[in-house]
């Protein structure tokens, strides 16, 4: 994977490449976050300097390799002081971004956090000034420290592909008018995100989907900066095994169909999909105070071997009319979400459906053959003819 915009100076030694990494970011308070309903709200965050840079939520994913010597430079272009806390990384106190023991960076000043990436794993970074407010405003990102080889850790399991999912949430009233400092439990989130995207925006962004063939080994790096408790639900066909927690290998790896992630936690997993795995990973967000389910998001899992022409899985439901031009009726035996895949295997559209008859307007899809798969892996074909 690319280390975007990082400047690398590598010294090739007989068995080891030591890299000096310079990361240059800005922190700011004038971000604009697009929400699922098309509206926007304010966010504060980090981003790369220069052309193509600017504030993003979450902050840029940092990919390092064990042994990298890192200078994480940032310039604060906003009115309030900020820091970068390297959450979980083995750094010394002077470089960990906690204001009292490290340093803050004030308006139009720059600072550098220096550390060596000693342990492979999944980490986070975030601002540690008035933490509850600056976090919920969006000042967080993920750091992955890779081994030289594509393995989770030395003598650990290997993988052929890798996905990162950072879960977070926000309370719209706070982001719209960020005036106060809050105790942690006063944040009552009402927008719930996967990599900064909500709801149908996740399915619409094909890069969020896991695409695999049976037998592949796919690494998942997951972490939470949410104020909610996260529960991931893995279809059993994914054969998800949790190998690492909070930047260390677990003494005993464990198979998971459910994984709870509390605020600040990270896990590294390997999935080895088999059978009818073209489903979705459900991500539930629970209120930390009363335990109520607040929201669910879906991460698509696509079987690259299921060509639309040859699919024969569970043709249990049908569209009427079929072929259709725009509005079709779809009968569902349960409440679920339908993901529409083009003949190229790309998820192009997603819609919630209720138990019973649903009228769906598919008029925005170009003419062609589509495979509609629900959250339980049941599929139907629909032809759109304009
Ligand atoms: Cu801050």
Residue 382 has φ and ψ, to the nearest 5°, of -140, 135
Please tell me the distance between residue 205's alpha carbon and the centre of ligand 1 in angstroms: 28
Quote the ligand 1 centre to 52 CA distance (angstroms): 22
- 169 C-alpha to ligand 1 centroid (Å): 17
Largest CA distance in the chain: 67
Distance (angstroms) between ligand 1 centre and the Cα of 69 equals 24
DSSP 8-state symbol, 59: P
All structural domains of the chain: 7-146 (2.60.40.420), 161-303 (2.60.40.420), 319-384 (2.60.40.3110)
Burial of 364 by CB count in 10 Å (0-12 exposed, 13-18 middle, 19+ buried)? exposed
pLDDT score at 336:
83
Asked whether residue 201 carries a pLDDT value surpassing 60, the answer given is yes
* Nearest CA among 220, 218, 297, 224 for reference residue 266: 224
Q: Per residue in 211-222, pLDDT tens?
A: 899 999 999 999
302-340 residue pLDDT tens:
988 875 444 433 444 578 888 888 889 988 888 888 888
The alpha carbon of 82 and the centre of ligand 1 are apart by a number of angstroms equal to: 4
Write out the two tokens for 204: 């619409």
How far does the centroid of ligand 1 lie from the alpha carbon of residue 43, in Å? Answer: 11
Share above pLDDT 90 across residues of the chain, in percent, rounded to a whole number: 64
| Ligand 1 centroid to residue 354 C-alpha, Å | 42
Check residue 190 and give its pLDDT.
93
Beta bridge partners of 301: 210
How confident is the model over 279-290, as pLDDT tens digits?
Answer: 999 999 999 999
pLDDT of residue 111: 96
The whole-number pLDDT of residue 362 equals 87
The CA 179 to ligand 1 mean position distance, Å, reads 13
Question: In whole numbers, what is the pLDDT of the chain averaged over residues?
Answer: 88
pLDDT of residue 311: 41
Is the Cβ–Cβ distance between 356 and 317 less than 8 Å?
A: no
Give the residue-averaged pLDDT of 56-75: 96
pTM above 0.75, yes or no: yes
- Other beta carbons less than 10 A from residue 354's beta carbon: 11
Calculate how far, in angstroms, residue 243's C-alpha sits from the geometric centre of ligand 1.
32
Give just the sign of the alpha carbon dihedral 36, 37, 38, 40.
negative
User: How confident is residue 21, by pLDDT bands cut at 50, 70 and 90?
Assistant: very high
Ligand 1 centroid distance, CA of 118 (Å): 26
pLDDT at 1 over 60: no
**Can you spell out the DSSP letters for 186-209?**
G----EEEETTB-THHHHH-GGGS
Query: Ligand 1 centre from 129 Cα, in Å?
Result: 5
The answer, yes or no, to whether residue 292 has pLDDT greater than 80, is: yes
Per-residue model confidence (pLDDT) at position 13? 43
Any residues with CB less than 8 A from the CB of 94 and at least 6 apart, and which? 101, 102, 103
Q: Which is higher by pLDDT, 343 or 300? A: 300
- What is the DSSP pairing of strand 356-361 with strand 140-146? unpaired
Alpha helices in the chain (DSSP H): 131-136, 172-176, 200-204
- Intra-chain end-to-end CA distance of the chain, in Å: 41
């Amino acid at each position: 994977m690319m280390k975007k915009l990082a400047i690398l100076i590598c010294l090739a030694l007989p068995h080891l490449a030591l890299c000096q990494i310079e990361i240059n970011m800005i922190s700011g308070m004038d971000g604009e976050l697009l929400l699922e309903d098309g509206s926007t709200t304010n966010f504060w965050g980090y981003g790369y300097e220069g052309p193509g840079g600017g504030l993003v939520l979450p902050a840029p994913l940092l990919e390092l390799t064990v042994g990298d010597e890192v200078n994480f430079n940032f310039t604060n272009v906003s009115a309030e002081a900020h820091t970068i806390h390297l959450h979980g990384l083995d750094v010394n106190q002077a470089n960990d971004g906690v204001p009292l023991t490290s340093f803050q960076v004030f308006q139009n000043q720059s600072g550098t956090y220096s550390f060596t990436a000693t342990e492979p794993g999944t980490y986070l970074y975030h601002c540690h000034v008035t933490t509850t407010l600056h976090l919920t405003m969006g000042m967080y990102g993920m750091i992955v420290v890779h081994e030289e080889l594509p393995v989770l850790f030395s003598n650990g399991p290997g993988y052929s592909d890798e996905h990162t999912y950072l879960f977070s949430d926000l309370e719209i009233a706070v982001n719209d008018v960020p005036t106060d400092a809050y105790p942690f439990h006063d944040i009552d989130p009402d927008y719930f995100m996967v990599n900064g995207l909500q709801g149908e925006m996740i399915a619409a962004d094909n890069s969020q989907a896991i695409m695999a063939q049976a037998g592949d080994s796919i690494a998942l790096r997951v972490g939470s900066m949410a104020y909610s408790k996260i529960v991931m639900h893995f279809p059993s066909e994914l054969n998800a095994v949790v190998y690492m927690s909070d930047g260390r290998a677990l003494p005993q790896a464990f198979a998971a169909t459910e994984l709870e992630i509390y605020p600040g936690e990270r896990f590294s997993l390997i999935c080895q999909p088999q059978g009818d795995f073209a489903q979705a990973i459900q991500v539930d967000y629970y209120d930390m105070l009363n335990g109520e389910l607040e929201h669910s998001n879906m991460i698509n899992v696509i079987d690259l071997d299921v060509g639309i022409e040859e699919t024969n899985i569970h043709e249990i439901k049908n569209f009427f009319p079929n072929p259709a031009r725009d509005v079709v009726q779809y009968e569902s035996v349960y409440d679920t979400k339908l993901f529409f895949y083009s003949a190229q295997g790309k998820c192009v559209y997603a819609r919630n459906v209720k138990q019973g008859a649903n009228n769906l307007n598919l008029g925005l899809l170009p003419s062609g053959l589509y495979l509609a798969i629900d959250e339980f892996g049941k599929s139907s074909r629909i032809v759109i003819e304009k």
